[in-house]
Amino acid sequence: MNFYRVVFKLKSHLKLTLLLSVFLSSLAIPSHSFVGTRVQNNRGNQTWELNSKVVPSTRTTDAAMGWSSDISEDGSTMVIGARLDSYDETGSNYLLKSGAAYVYVKSGGVWVFQQKLVDPVRTAEDEFGISVSISGDTIVVGSEFEDYDEAGGNYLLNAGAAYVYTRSAGVWSFQKKLVGAVGTNHRRQDDNFGHSVAISGNTIAVGVWYQDHDLAGANYVNAAGAVNIYTGSGASWSLQQKLIATTGGGRTSESRFGDNVALEGDTLVVGSYNHSLDENGANSVASSGAAYILTRSGGVWTEQQKLVGSGTNGRVASDNFGSWVGISGNTVVIGAQLQDYDYQGTASITNAGAAYVYEKKGSVWELKQKLTSTGINGRVASDMFGARVAISGDTIAISSFNHGYDKEGANALAGAGAVFVYKRTRGVWRRTAKLVGEGTNGRRAADVFGSSVSVAGDTVLVGARGQDYDESGDNVVSNAGAGFVFQVK
């Protein structure tokens, strides 16, 4: 039964329905309760519509534009990564999978191209653009397969790097190349430094998800992972601290701490989707996953809390809790892309996926709500809901990039992808929209719509790395990729 449906046939039914709706919306929900998200498409006083579809003027096969994306805090600039792009900023000088990132700015209500960013010293298969982040006039781009240090020497296969760019008078210029710290075992072959990046103001976080060594460069643990924090501005950035997991069992093999990161001010959230221990370092459940919240005080970062899935069937093997993380103010959202159970922990659908929302109470992060997809064919096996998440204020966007159905739950197209939008009203998160590719040829099989997702205020940016068509729906270029921008009407 849908308690938000208005029944016009009988006055008594109308009265009963409205009374139930008012009663349910006014309930005080305890912070640890699992709340169902039964509000369907466009039933939450929000209508999202496509504002722009963006693609490069020179599109190339398998560039995978949309693999990563981010929007500036004020919603005026966005950056979209194309990790498999093979051409420089002029569209020439081919180097296989060297990678790129595209910057767009909002002008006259629509998004227009500003600049293509590439590694200033490009090499094949660096995959520059696997991760991107923007804050104000600064962009950081990850390149996890870069082999050389900041001076272009000391070759280490796939050691990785991250690149900082700043904008002045509308032009983006390269400022600094970041690599693993100098010292014992802090920069190693196959570290994949730059697999994830995040920037907030004068702070950059770089995920090094295959780092094997602790803070002293000792105590080898295979792919335990790390995060490097840098502070600065312009061309001057210095390492503030190397972070590793310390609580709840600390570092464990293949945990991949730093697979993804979210940063806001003095708070950092780190995903460790392959971790197996609970918050106390016990009860091993293979690849159930974890996320860590760290805070900075006096220039020093410390772990505040370790989060794991909870509730009925909320922590199960191979959940991948921590598959993606997001933060906005006192709210954190954690994706668990392979979770099988619905918001009540009962109905099981293999790898349907879920997302967990936490709110800060004092110094403790408490589970507020578990979100799972709803609607006709809204929750299907292998959807991977929670593979990407993003939050801004009272809006959460959750990617289900393997989802196959359109807005109405019909017209199945394998791997077309979808993004579900939630709004917080009276402390409860309710689904307000389902976004899918739109326009001529805007929704196709294997588009992977939701490859990335970003939110800023009333704007949602969705990457579709498998999209083949340009902004008009013409000119097929296989897997060139695209970005779709939606706004509240």
* Whether 466 contacts 415, CB under 8 Å: yes
pTM for the full predicted model = 0.91
Query: CA–CA separation, 96 vs 85, rounded Å?
Result: 7
DSSP string across 1-30: --TT----S-HHHHHHHHHHHHHHHT----
- pLDDT exceeds 70 at position 438: yes
Q: How would residue 44 be classed by pLDDT, with cut points 50, 70 and 90? A: low
* Whether 456 contacts 396, CB under 8 Å: no
Query: CA–CA separation, 466 vs 416, rounded Å?
Result: 9
Percentage of the chain beyond pLDDT 70 is: 91
Query: CA–CA separation, 222 vs 404, rounded Å?
Result: 36
Q: Output the pLDDT for position 317.
A: 98
Which DSSP symbol is given to 385?
Answer: B
Q: Output the pLDDT for position 64.
A: 98
Query: CA–CA separation, 341 vs 49, rounded Å?
Result: 30
Which uninterrupted H or E stretch holds 335?
Answer: strand 331-336
DSSP string across 223-239: T-BEEEEEEEETTEEEE
Which DSSP symbol is given to 414?
Answer: T
- pLDDT exceeds 90 at position 484: yes
Average pLDDT over residues 380-401: 98
Average pLDDT over residues 461-480: 98
- pLDDT exceeds 50 at position 267: yes
Query: CA–CA separation, 52 vs 295, rounded Å?
Result: 37
Which is it for strands 171-178 and 418-425: parallel, antiparallel or unpaired? unpaired
Residue 454: strand pairing partners: 461
User: Over the stretch 316-373, which tens digit does the pLDDT of each residue have?
Assistant: 999 999 999 999 999 999 999 999 999 999 999 999 999 999 999 999 999 999 999 9
- pLDDT exceeds 60 at position 222: yes
Q: Which of 143, 195, 435 is nearest to 324 (CA)?
A: 195
- pLDDT exceeds 70 at position 169: yes
Which uninterrupted H or E stretch holds 445?
Answer: none
Q: Output the pLDDT for position 6.
A: 31
Q: How would residue 390 be classed by pLDDT, with cut points 50, 70 and 90? A: very high
Q: How would residue 20 be classed by pLDDT, with cut points 50, 70 and 90? A: very low
Q: Return mean pLDDT, the chain.
A: 92
342: Cα within 13 Å, side-chain hemisphere: 15
Q: How would residue 217 be classed by pLDDT, with cut points 50, 70 and 90? A: very high
- pLDDT exceeds 70 at position 214: yes
- pLDDT exceeds 90 at position 30: no
- pLDDT exceeds 70 at position 221: yes
Average pLDDT over residues 412-437: 97
Query: CA–CA separation, 174 vs 229, rounded Å?
Result: 19
Question: Edge to edge, what strands does the sheet with 203-208 contain?
Answer: 193-200, 203-208, 226-233, 236-243
User: Over the stretch 77-118, which tens digit does the pLDDT of each residue have?
Assistant: 999 999 999 999 999 999 999 999 999 999 999 999 999 999
Which DSSP symbol is given to 217?
Answer: S
Tokens 């403790």 -> residue: 364
Query: CA–CA separation, 242 vs 264, rounded Å?
Result: 17
Sign, CA dihedral 187-307-294-265, equals: positive
Sign, CA dihedral 164-239-182-250, equals: negative
Q: Output the pLDDT for position 216.
A: 95
Q: Output the pLDDT for position 17.
A: 36
Query: CA–CA separation, 311 vs 347, rounded Å?
Result: 14
Question: Edge to edge, what strands does the sheet with 482-488 contain?
Answer: 48-54, 482-488, 459-464, 449-456
* Whether 35 contacts 343, CB under 8 Å: yes
- pLDDT exceeds 70 at position 471: yes
Average pLDDT over residues 68-76: 97
CB proximity list for 99: less than 8 A, separation 6 or greater: 81, 82, 83, 84, 85, 118, 119, 126, 127, 128, 129, 130, 143
Percentage of the chain beyond pLDDT 90 is: 90
- pLDDT exceeds 50 at position 442: yes
- pLDDT exceeds 50 at position 170: yes
* Whether 476 contacts 468, CB under 8 Å: yes
- pLDDT exceeds 50 at position 269: yes
What length does the chain have? 489
Q: Which of 163, 165, 164, 124 is nearest to 145 (CA)?
A: 124
- pLDDT exceeds 70 at position 18: no
Q: Output the pLDDT for position 45.
A: 58
CA 152 to each of CA 8, 131, 220: distance values in angstroms, whole numbers, following the listed order: 71, 21, 27
Query: CA–CA separation, 97 vs 334, rounded Å?
Result: 30
Q: Output the pLDDT for position 9.
A: 33
Q: Output the pLDDT for position 489.
A: 87
Average pLDDT over residues 14-35: 33
Tokens describing residue 76: 């005026």
CA 223 to each of CA 184, 252, 255: distance values in angstroms, whole numbers, following the listed order: 16, 8, 6
Vertex 166, ends 163 and 171: CA angle to 5°? 120
User: 36 or 305, which is more confident?
Assistant: 305
Least trusted range by pLDDT, from 42-56, 120-134, 170-184, 241-255: 42-56
Vertex 202, ends 358 and 458: CA angle to 5°? 50
User: 59 or 41, which is more confident?
Assistant: 59
Least trusted range by pLDDT, from 9-23, 75-89, 278-292: 9-23
Least trusted range by pLDDT, from 7-11, 114-118, 295-299, 392-396: 7-11
